[in-house]
Structure 1
Amino acid sequence: MIHIGNIQLPDFPLLLAPMEDVSDPPFRAVCKANGADLMYTEFISSEGLIRDAAKSVQKLDIFEYERPIGIQLFGSDVETMGACAEIATRANPDLIDINYGCPVKNVACRGAGAALLQDIPKMVRMTEAVVKATHLPVTVKTRLGWDDNTKNVGEVAERLQDIGIKALTIHGRTRVQMYKGNADWTLIGRIKDNPRIQIPIFGNGDIDSPEKALEYKNRYGVDGVMIGRASIGHPWIFDEIKHYARTGEHRPAPTVADRVAVCRQHLDFSIRWKGEIVGLFEMRRHYANYFKGLPDFKPYRSRLVTTDSYAELGAILDEIQENYIPELV
C-alpha cells in the first residue's frame, strides 16, 4: 500500500490531475466512477480565496464519495498561502496540495505556480507556511525546473521532504516547454532512486495508455502516475490501466452507448452543481472529447455546442446513440 500521511492508497495508485476548467465535481464524478484513486480540485487562487471570491470558494466543494481528495492551492505570497491553507482545511479535504507547476503566463508571470522554481528558498518558506497552517497531509506538484538549464527538482524534492510534505508529483517537462514535446521521466526516476527520498513520488506527463503507464512504472519505479489530458473525454482510462495491470489484456473500447451514458451523467451533474445555464454552457468544452474519432461527427458537435435546451441535448445524445451503430464505427 502507498501512504500519504494517514491516507492509504492501493499499490501503484492512479491520480487524476488538477486541471483548470476541467477537474470540477462533475468531471471528477465520472473519473471516480471509472477508477481514479486520488483526485484533486481545480487549482484555487490563494488571493481569490482570501478575498472570498465566489469562483474560488465554489472550488472548495467536495463530496464524500470523492474521497480521498485534495484541495490544490497556488499563490505568490507566503503569508497569504498559509492563511489560505487554513481556509481550505475547514472544507475538510483529505490533503492540501500546492501547485508549483502551472506554466501559464497569468500564473507564472505573477510569481505563482512554476515561477517558484526560480526561487527555491521562497518555495521552501511557502511550503513550510502551509504545512504549519494545517493538520492535513501537504503534497506538492511541480515540474523538472524552469528551463533546461535549471532542472532543480532534485533539490526541491529533498528540501520539501525535509520540511514535511508527504508526497511529490513531478511533471516531466520544464516550465519553458509548457506542454510541448515529450515528457522526460529520467529525472523523475533518479529522484525515486535517491535513498534520501522516503515520500511517495508520482510521475505525470504523457500517460495516455495502459501500456505506457505500466512501462513507466517498471522503468522509472514511480509509486503511481497522475493522468491529466488523456482522461478528458475518456475517464475509462483509469479502469483500463488497472485491468491491463491485472490481466495483461485490454478491455474493449467504450461503445457509443457507453460514451453517451457517461456524457449524460457528466451533463446532469454539471447542471445540478452549476445551475442549468452555466452547466449547459460549460459542458460544451467536453462534447468533442467524448465523441472523438466518430466519423462525420461535426454536424452533431455543432448542434451540441449551440443549443441552450437540456431537452434538445438529450434528444441529440439519443440520436447519436441510435445512429452510430457498432458496424459504422
Structure 2
Amino acid sequence: MSVLRGGGAEAGVPALLAPLSGVTDLYMRRIARRYGASAVISEMVAAAELALGDAESQLRSEGAGVSPHVVQLAGCAPEPMARAARIAVETGADVIDVNMGCPAKTVTGGAAGSALMRDLDNAERLLAAVRDAVSVPVTVKMRLGWDEASLNAADLAQRAERLGLNAVTVHGRTRQQFYKGSADWTAIRAVVQAVRIPVFANGDITSLSEARACLAASGAAGVMIGRAAQGRPWLVGAIASALAGQPRPEPSREERAAIACEHYEGLIALYGPAMGVRHARKHLASYVEHAGPGALPASERTRLLTTSDPALALELLRRAFLDPDDAPLESLGEAA
C-alpha cells in the first residue's frame, strides 16, 4: 500500500512505527518519520471522545508536519467510529487505522480493541461504517485472536478485504497473552495467505535481525515496530533503510541528545508545561535507558524523572548522552 510506504523505503520492505497509547505523540512521530520510518501511526484515539470534540483526543490525533498522517481510532459502535473518522480526515488524516488489537482491560471492557475479535459480525459492521464514511485508505490492526481457542485473524482479515480495506496489521499474540511470552510470527503467515491486501507483522521486533526473521517467518509485506522505538525513534527508519539495502550510520551521541531534547521541548509546546512534563517522563526514562548503563548516576536519573523544571530536565538529558563515561551505544543488532 503505497501511502504507507512514504519516503525512505520505497524500494524496500516498509517498516512502520506502531501506534502506542500515550507514547506515539506528534513529536515522536515527526522524528521517526524524519529518520526514515515508512509511515507512523498516531497513538490510539477514542472515537467517541473525538466525535464529541474532546481536546486531548484532538491532540492525540494531531498530525501537523507528518506525512502520511495516519490516525488510529478505537471504539465499539459504528456511528461514533464513522463520525470520528470523518473528523480525522477533515483535519488532515491521510489514512484511518481501526484498533482491533489493544488488549488493555480499560479498552476491552468497553467491547473495543481486541474484544471485537470475539464478535466478528460487529467488527465487520464497524469496519464497514468507517469505510463508508471516508474516501481515504482504511486499515485495521488486530491480534491473532482473543485466545488460543479462537485464532480468527485470517477470518477478520478476509472480511476487511471484502469491505475494501487497504491493509491489515497483525500482532503475533492473542489478547489473553497481553505481552507475555513471544510473538508468534509464523502464525501471521495464515493471515498473509488468506488475503491479497498487504499484511504487516508486529510484535517483538527490536532489531534488524529480528525484522528479517519476522519477515521470513510470516511472509508479511512489512513490519511494524512499537515498544522498541521508545527512546529510539530513529530505529524504525534505520531498519527500513537497511531492509531497502541502504544502511545508514547510527546517530551519534550528539545527534541522539538533540533528538531527545527536541522531543521533550515539543511535548512541552504541545501539552503546556504542567501536562507536558508529566507526559514526557516515560520518554525521558527510555532515552536514558538507551543512552547506556553509565549514562547518569542514580541520583541524577531520579532528578530527571521527577523534576518539573524543563531547563533542569534538558540539562540532565544532554548529560546522559554527552557524559556517559564512554558507555556503548545500542545499534541495530546486526550489520547491514
Residues of 1 paired with 2:284 and 2:225: CA distance? 20
User: Deviation at 1:326?
Assistant: 2.4
Q: How many residues align?
A: 324
Residue 55 of structure 1: how far off its partner (Å):
1.3
CA change 1:120–1:7 in 2 (3 A) is farther
**Under a length normalisation based on structure 1, what TM-score does the superposition of the two structures give?**
0.91
- Structure 1's 96 and 319: CA in aligned 2 closer, same or farther, altered over 3 A? closer
Could you tell me which residue of structure 2 aligns to residue 206 of structure 1?
Answer: 204
> Residues of 1 paired with 2:323 and 2:60: CA distance?
37
- Partner residue of 1:220? 218
Counterpart residue number, 1:139: 139
Q: CA deviation at 1:28?
A: 1.1
SS of 2:175's equivalent in the other structure is coil
What per-residue deviation string (whole Å, max 9, x for no partner) do you get for residues 11-53 of structure 1?
A: 3111111111101111112211222111111111111112222
What's the counterpart of residue 269 of structure 1? 266
**TM-score of the superposed pair, with normalisation by structure 2:** 0.89
Residue of structure 1 in register with 2:121 after alignment? 121
| Aligned alpha-carbon RMSD (Å) | 2.3
* Map of 2:80 onto structure 1: 80
Provide the rounded CA distance (Å) in 2 between the counterparts of 1:251 and 1:45. Answer: 38
Aligned to 1:14: 15
Alignment of 1:256-295 (within 5 A): 256-292=253-289, 293-295=292-294
Whether contact under 8 Å (1:183, 1:205) holds in the other structure is yes
CA contact (8 A) 1:3 1:200 kept: no
Deviations 1:59-97 (A, max 9, x none): 22111x311121111111122212222222211211111
Does 2:63 align with 1:62?
Answer: yes
Q: How does 1:1-329 map to 2 (within 5 A)?
A: 2-3=1-2, 10=10, 11-63=12-64, 65-194=65-194, 197-245=195-243, 251-252=249-250, 254-292=251-289, 293-295=292-294, 297-326=297-326
Query: For the Cα contact (< 8 Å) 2:139–2:167, is it kept in 1?
Result: yes
Counterpart CA distance in 1 for 2:267 and 2:74 is 25
| Structure 1 residues 279-306: Cα deviation after superposition (integer angstroms, max 9, x where no partner) | 2222111122112132264222111122
Contact 2:6 2:39 in 1 (8 A): no
Letter in 2 for 1:260: A
Q: Matched residue of 1:176: which SS? A: helix
Post-superposition Cα deviations, 1:74-126, rounded to whole Å, max 9, x if no partner, equal: 11112221222222221121111100001100100111010110000111111
Structure 2: which 5+ runs fail to align?
A: 330-336
Counterparts in 2 of 1:202 and 1:280: CA distance versus 1, 3 Å: same
Distance in 2 (alpha carbons) for counterparts of 1:200 and 1:304: 42
Alignment CA distance shift 1:181-1:87 (3 Å):
same
Q: 1:200 to 1:271 in 2, by over 3 A?
A: same
Q: Could you list the runs of 5+ residues in structure 1 that have no partner in the other structure? A: none
The whole-number CA distance in structure 2 between the counterparts of 1:5 and 1:290 is 27
Secondary structure at the residue paired with 2:293? coil
Contact 1:171-1:183 at 8 Å conserved across structures = yes
**8 Å CA contact 2:171, 2:183 repeated in 1:** yes
| 3-state SS, counterpart of residue 66 of structure 1 | coil
What is the DSSP-based 3-state SS (H/G/I as helix, E as strand, rest coil) of the residue aligned with 1:226?
Answer: strand
8 A Cα contact 1:13 1:223, kept in partner: yes
Task: Check the 8 A contact 1:244/1:251 in 2, yes or no.
Answer: no
CA distance in 1, matches of 2:287, 2:59: 25
Measure, in 2, the Cα distance between the counterparts of 1:116 and 1:51. 22
Q: Is the 8 A contact 1:15 1:38 kept in 2?
A: yes
> Matches of 1:5 and 1:263 in 2, distance apart?
25
Identity of aligned residues (%): 34
